[in-house]
Amino acid sequence: MLTEIYLEALLADSDLADQVWDAWNARTLNDTAALIAWTLIVCAIESSPPQCRLAGARVLNDLLII
């Protein structure tokens, strides 16, 4: 499941997907947080208007800071 959503996120935005991967790999994010982050990347970047993409990027930034 994580691999599938990670691959989808890579297609949507490889830089953001890799940031989440690095945090997940370093155990900064658990599996659930990584899944949510990658899902946000896919949803926010592929199918939302620009203001939603910006909001999604802010949520991802907050997740990566934690």
Instruction: Give the domain extent around 19.
Output: 2-65
The whole-number pLDDT of residue 30 equals: 92
Rounded Cα gap, residues 43 and 1, in angstroms: 16
Q: How many structural domains does the chain have?
A: 1
Rounded Cα gap, residues 54 and 52, in angstroms: 5
The residue among 32, 7, 44, 9 whose CA lies nearest residue 63 is 32
The whole-number pLDDT of residue 17 equals: 92
Q: Which two tokens stand for residue 66?
A: 């934690």
The whole-number pLDDT of residue 54 equals: 66
What are the pLDDT digits (tens) for 6-47? Answer: 998 898 889 989 999 999 999 988 998 898 888 888 887 766
